Amino acid sequence: MTQHNAPVLPDGLVVFLKRECETCRMVAPLLSAFPVHVITQDDPAFPHNVAAHHDTDLSLSWHHDIETVPTLIRVVDGREVERTEGWLRSDWQRITGIAALGDDLPVMRPGCGSMSVDPDLADGLAAAFGGNVLKSRRLELADLDDEMEAMFDRGFTDGLPVVPPTEARVLRMLEGTHREPHEIVAIVPPDLVPVTVEKVAVNAVMAGCKPEYLPWVIAAVEAVCTDEFNIHGVLATTMPVGPVIICNGPGTKAIGMNGGGNALGQGNRANLTIGRAVQLVVRNVGGGRPGEVDRATHGNPGKISFCFAELEDSSPFTSLSASRGFTTDDNTVTVFAGEGPRCIVDQKARTAEELANAFAACLRTLHNPKLVLAFDAVLVVGPEHARVFADDGWDRDRLLAELHARLHMPGSELVLGAGGIADGVPEHLKDHTLPKFRPDGILLVHAGGGAGLFSAMIGGWANGSTGSQPVTWRVNERSER
């Protein structure tokens, strides 16, 4: 299909080709047998037997969607009416009207990739000829300016270098979604600024994402900008929390996410850059910068990026997203306002009862062993620990029920001043039994390496209507909830 406002091809037959292509060299001798306008992409002297127009800047090739050479096109009244790509003898004979054309050639030969779709050139061509698609403000740098330093100087980074978001890179990123660049994705706190798909793409480029990650970034941005998640509160609190992004679904494998060894750590591009892109959107669009609205006393390294996939295939548990009402075919992100992970170590437990006791003892200490009901948690069960539960037939529901049962504590141990600890619950609760977590306050996830009897817990921020609720969002082209 011809691009809008494309330069018009002359009426008659038009052929695009390049010397580098073996099929183009094969058909070149035929071009003197009929009237044809020849457009050559690489060598202006090719072919030697007919006059050719050199598509120096590849504008003709780009505007007319030439993906393969040779491409033979018939044009009538300035409009393309048919084309054939590569060499298919019957097509060339029909379009040219020469019944015996190329009878001595093979019936079919595939062509070569057009220079206009060369990965090294395509993004620059899209930027040059694609029209004013992008609306973001352009920053002009002097020849001697260092791009990386310029980004630091303007406050666009999280403290680490970012990829300069050139027009070509942003256009390539936008190929990861069918959503319109100017569609508003969300209103980003704290400054309540509308963020478009284009602006998300800009920050995804800066974070180092691939285009196929963009729908995941968009979904996570939408999720953190909900009233339930309350990213403004997550920023403003002095607790060390930020968005923890847990990804589920077959798409996690398709984009190469890690839910196995070191899933919560470094080394995986998808994990790290998706989480980082979300944080950059909040910083660069919403204005959520440390020392300003972000008032964390200590913060944590996860506020650069904290994103991982659940290890679903080998899990004895239903997935997190399935437990929250989605299907196993859905790609989802769950956002949780969490601190950094803490390791749970139990090398000796061989029964589900023993291991649940250890998990409960660790979970009881979360934030402060005397603070109850105020905070949620993510429990990341490692595969070796998960096998202990599986061997005893404990599924997700059983494990969570057993943990909650072990996490009910007498109020006499929790009141203010008890145990020599000033903090605690009010004195009038002394004779009550209180749960550490609300009924749905533990989010169970299966992830980690196959070796090591370890799990992890991630403490949350204040829960409920005054704090933050976990939000699960479907990843698709509309990023519907």
Q: For 63, phi and psi rounded to 5 degrees?
A: -65, -30
Q: For 451, phi and psi rounded to 5 degrees?
A: -115, 135
Closest listed residue to residue 463, CA positions, set 233, 188, 129: 233
Q: Which amino acid is at 470?
A: P
Query: How many angstroms from the chain centroid is the CA of residue 419?
Result: 47
Q: What whole-number distance in Å separates Cα of residue 356 and Cα of residue 430?
A: 26
Q: What whole-number distance in Å separates Cα of residue 198 and Cα of residue 280?
A: 14
The answer to whether the peptide bond before residue 301 is cis (omega within 30 degrees of 0) is: no
Q: What whole-number distance in Å separates Cα of residue 305 and Cα of residue 448?
A: 17
Using CA atoms, how far residue 215 sits from 10, 179, 219, in Å, is 41, 9, 6
Q: Which amino acid is at 204?
A: A
The answer to whether the peptide bond before residue 190 is cis (omega within 30 degrees of 0) is: yes
The answer to whether the peptide bond before residue 70 is cis (omega within 30 degrees of 0) is: yes
Closest listed residue to residue 244, CA positions, set 264, 266, 219, 218: 264
The tally of CA atoms less than 13 A away on the side-chain side of residue 426 is 1
Give the end-to-end CA distance of the chain in Å, rounded to a whole number: 35
Supply 250's token pair: 């077959």
Supply 197's token pair: 């798909």
The pTM of this model reads: 0.82
Beta bridge partners of 415: 425
SS (H, E, C) the chain: CCCCCCCCCCCEEEEEECCCCHHHHHHHHHHHHCCCEEEECCCCCCCCCCCEEECCCCHHHHHCCCCEECEEEEEECCEEEEEEECEEHHHHHHHHCCCCCCCCCCCEECCEECHHHCHHHHHHHHHHHCCCCCCCCCCCCCCCCCHHHHHHHCCCCCCCCCCCCCHHHHHHHHCCCCCCCCCEEEEECCCCEEEEHHHHHHHHHHHCCCHHHHHHHHHHHHHHCCCCCCHHHHHHCCCCCEEEEEEECCHHHHCCCCCCCCCCCCCCHHHHHHHHHHHHHHHHCCCCCECCCECCCCCCHHHCCCEEECCCCCCCCCCHHHHCCCCCCCCEEEEEEEEEEEEEECCCCCCHHHHHHHHHHHHHCCCCCCCCCCEEEEEEECHHHHHHHHHCCCCHHHHHHHHHHHCEEEHHHCECCHHHCCCCECHHHCCCEEECCCCCCEEEEECCCCCCCEEEEEEEEECCCCCCCCEEEECCCCCCC
Closest listed residue to residue 359, CA positions, set 430, 437, 242: 437
Using CA atoms, how far residue 417 sits from 217, 372, 428, 436, in Å, is 45, 15, 13, 18
Identify the structural domains of the chain with CATH numbers, from first to last: 12-128 (3.40.30.10), 153-474 (no CATH)
Q: What whole-number distance in Å separates Cα of residue 308 and Cα of residue 378?
A: 13
What is the residue-level pLDDT of the chain in tens, covering all 481 positions? 344 467 899 999 999 999 999 999 999 999 999 999 999 999 999 999 999 999 999 999 999 999 999 999 999 999 999 999 999 999 999 999 999 999 999 999 999 999 999 988 888 888 788 766 788 888 888 888 899 999 999 999 999 999 999 998 999 999 999 999 999 999 999 999 999 999 999 999 999 999 999 999 999 999 999 999 999 999 999 999 999 999 999 999 999 999 999 999 999 999 999 999 999 999 999 999 999 999 999 999 999 999 999 999 999 999 999 999 999 999 999 999 999 999 999 999 999 999 999 999 999 999 999 999 999 999 999 999 999 999 999 999 999 999 999 999 999 999 999 999 999 999 999 999 999 999 999 999 999 999 999 999 999 999 998 899 999 999 985 444 4
Supply 422's token pair: 């000033």
Q: What whole-number distance in Å separates Cα of residue 19 and Cα of residue 29?
A: 13
Q: Which amino acid is at 363?
A: L
How high is the pLDDT of residue 130? 77
How high is the pLDDT of residue 287? 96
Q: What whole-number distance in Å separates Cα of residue 35 and Cα of residue 139?
A: 48
